Amino acid sequence: MNVYQTTAKTLKRQTYERITAQDDVSKLELMKDIDITSSSLNRVLDELLHEGWIVESGLGQSTGGRKPVLYRMNAHNRYIFGLDISRVYSVLGLYDLRMNTLYSHRWSMDERMTPEKLVEEVGQQIQQVLAERHMSRRRILGIGVGAVGPLDHETGMIHRPIYFNAKGWQQVPICRLLTERTELPALLDNGTNTALLGEHWAMREDDARHVLYVNAGMGIRSAYLSDGRLMRGAMDKEGAVGQMIVAAGGARLHDQGNYGALEAYASIQALEQQARQHSRMGLDGIAIRSESENHHVGSIDMLDWERITTALQQGDTTLQEMFHRSAGYMGIGLANLVNTLQPERVILGGALIQAAPGYYDTAVHVAQQQIYGEPATYPQFSRGYLQERAASVGAAVMVLERMDM
């Protein structure tokens, strides 16, 4: 590709992205934001209109002459699948180019959900939804995958993630497997990166440039957007933030990792471990009940996350205290990250954040007490716009951002 072709493709992409950022944009507004001549812009707009990426949306206000033609993106020109592979559940969504959810399916990641099983389930769902909507595969840009790391986003390989219930989640060429099953191109990144991409897409009108995303689930994962770009290290260690020391010489999770690490206090694994230890010590019983039960469960091994959260919702005071302490440690970890990275926004997500009433508020309150600087400089905290949908939506955004126009 020569320099002229490269420049033309860049201008086309810039014009399209500017139109997608704000509906009903005039040619004059585009020229204010893009370094492009009027004749070149006319050619780019004609090409985008011809290929169906944009449509004319009406006429704007006159400034003395003819009313200007307005342009907006055509959300239904193409579609994208987004797949969130997590340790607790996985979600497949079909999205238009505005990231509106057209379809969604969720699987529990139990001991049966091997990589091969999940790929087959995804393939069946894609085949079914395309048939029901009379949609050709040519209309699909691809499948974006946000998954638990460690992984290699360039080769599409999931390496050796921990805490999966099913066997086989080691050295999984997930992109190749999905492409072979669905005949669609696939892209991979870690789930916190895609969740951050999704949330940033949802807040794009706010023009936030420095955003921290922290996911608290089976482990603690994080992603950071600096000046609008995802920050990556030499290796993909999205879970490394869980090894941040928040209590020197403190607890250790499953005899692995650092003593006093954040993950040992503020994760699903940590709270399950604490609840089981509490019961083994013969302290006050934790009232674990299921829908069909009206008694305390005697087996310590039955103190899993589902039963713990059920008991928490039923008002178990022992668990309330455990979750409150956990949120405090989460706040310490957040303060450390904010003091180091200095983001404008901090988004908290994950099953742990959503499970307990007050967990989010306590974590944010503790963090704000330990952030260096004046309150006016504190970042804005939130649970995000997309919340549980963030990783799958962001996986679709990843495909959109890398598409060849």
Q: Can you list the residues of the chain whose pLDDT is less than 70?
A: 1-6, 234-238, 279-303
In whole angstroms, what separates CA 91 from the centre of its chain? 11
State the pTM of this model: 0.85
Separation between Cα atoms, residue 85 and residue 164, nearest integer Å: 11
What letters, b where the CB count within 10 A reaches 16 and e where it falls short, cover 267-277?
Answer: bbbbbbbbbbe
Q: How far apart are the C-alpha atoms of 31 and 40, rounded to whole Å?
A: 10
Residues of the chain within CATH 1.10.10.10 domain(s) are 3-73
CATH number given to 79-201+389-402: 3.30.420.40
- Cα–Cα separations (whole angstroms), residue 391 to 102, 171, 219, 235: 16, 21, 16, 20
The confidence score (pLDDT) of residue 285 equals 53
| Chain segment 136-173, per-residue pLDDT in tens | 999 999 999 999 888 999 999 999 888 788 999 999 99
Phi, psi of 330 (to 5 degrees): -60, -40
Fold of 3-73: Arc Repressor Mutant, subunit A (1.10.10)
- pLDDT of amino acid 299: 43
Count other Cβ atoms within 10 Å, centred on residue 94. Answer: 23
| CA 292, 298, 302, 305 torsion-angle sign | positive
Candidates 403, 317, 327, 397; CA nearest to 363 is 327
Bridge partners of 349, per DSSP, are: 215
Alpha helix positions (H), 183-314:
191-202, 268-280, 305-313
Torsion region of 184: left, alpha or beta (phi above 0 gives left; psi -120 to 50 gives alpha): beta
pLDDT score of 282: 52
pLDDT of residue 228: 84
At a CB cut-off of 8 Å and minimum separation 6, what does 263 contact? 219, 220, 239, 242, 243, 253, 257, 269, 270
Q: How many CA atoms lie within 13 A of 178 on its CB side?
A: 26
Give Cβ neighbours of residue 342 (< 8 Å, ≥ 6 apart).
Answer: 210, 379
Give CATH 3.30.420.40 domain extents, the chain.
79-201+389-402, 230-383
Helix (H) or strand (E) segment spanning residue 101: strand 101-108
Per-residue pLDDT tens over the stretch 244-274: 999 998 889 888 889 999 999 999 989 988 8
Is the domain spanning 230-383 CATH 2.60.120.260? The answer is: no
Q: How many Å apart are CA 309 and CA 293, to the nearest integer?
A: 15
Instruction: Please report, in angstroms and rounded to a whole number, the separation of the first and last CA atoms in the chain.
Output: 14
Alpha helix stretches (DSSP H) within 22-145: 27-33, 38-51, 115-132
Cα–Cα dist 128/118, whole Å: 15
The answer to whether 115 touches 102, Cβ cutoff 8 Å, is: no
